[in-house]
Amino acid sequence: MTGWRVIVGFLIGAVIASVITAGMFLYTGAKVLQATTARELLAEIVAIDSLQEGWLLQGEASQTAKLSDHPGLPVTQSGSGLWLMPVEIRVILDEAQWNSPPDASYGFIQGRRVWIIRDQILPDAPLSYSGVKQEHFPELISSDGRQELCAWIERVQIAYNGGTLTDRGLAPLRPYLVPLAQEDRVSALRILLSQDARNFLAGIRARWGKASFAD
């Protein structure tokens, strides 16, 4: 009987050790996945922000003009007239409010379909979020730009709701999420966002409000 007890004790000990080892592997694997997810999402939005898929209205009286009143503008400067300057996406995510006309389509620029996201500068309108103070202009975004931003938002919310992106991993994304989470931005991008994504962005507003950087 003593021999059987020794064998049973050995087997039980081996099982417990295996469970502990498996648990440690699972825990370590989960932590690695969470860290990798956060790094990948941060790298993705930095790359998206650098895409030249936006345009700013430039030229004389550009800050008082209404973009929808000036279709077909050139993308190169000619004298003092109005023109559209190609810019990176990060530029059109500045802190002034977006305000699209009922028909936001601006047609095509160099074969790309483009949309009005800020038709005009409204001097008395509050800022969309608190960011770096700068000059603001009416602006456009391409369909590709909208799709890239919305696809990234979807990837973030899926990762966060699925547990592979933690609160700690979410924190470095704050400067990129807060500008996109404001109601004027969600309204402009709504057609490309799932209900889960819109709920997630509402949670970002509740968490961080209009502050894109921590105090």
pLDDT beyond 70 at 212: yes
pLDDT beyond 80 at 105: yes
pLDDT beyond 80 at 169: yes
Query: For residue 122, is it within any domain?
Result: yes
86 beta partners: 55
Q: Quick one: pLDDT band at residue 19, thresholds 50, 70, 90?
A: low
Q: What is the DSSP letter of 71?
A: T
DSSP H or E run through 7: helix 2-49
Query: For residue 125, is it within any domain?
Result: yes
In the numeric block, the tokens 């009286």 are attached to 61
Q: Quick one: pLDDT at residue 21? A: 54
Q: Quick one: pLDDT at residue 25? A: 45
193: left (phi over 0), alpha (psi -120 to 50) or beta: beta
The model's pTM? 0.84
DSSP readout, 163-177? TSS-HHHHGGGHHHH
How long is the chain? 215
Query: For residue 175, is it within any domain?
Result: no
Query: For residue 199, is it within any domain?
Result: no
| Residue 149, token pair as written in the block | 């931003």
Average pLDDT, the chain: 89
Query: For residue 107, is it within any domain?
Result: yes
| pLDDT tens figures, 124-139 | 889 999 876 678 999 9
Spatial CA neighbour of 67 closest among 140, 144, 146, 125:
140
Torsion of CA 121, 124, 129, 134, to 10 degrees: 60
Query: For residue 25, is it within any domain?
Result: no
pLDDT beyond 70 at 29: no
What is the average per-residue pLDDT within 60-68? 94
Query: For residue 36, is it within any domain?
Result: no
Domain range for 81: 54-143
Cα–Cα distance for residue pair 86/75, rounded to 1 Å: 7
Query: For residue 59, is it within any domain?
Result: yes
Least confident of 8-22, 56-70, 183-197: 8-22
169: phi then psi, degrees, rounded to nearest 5: -75, -25
Question: How many domains, in total, are found in the chain?
Answer: 1
Cα–Cα distance for residue pair 21/18, rounded to 1 Å: 5
Cα–Cα distance for residue pair 215/203, rounded to 1 Å: 19
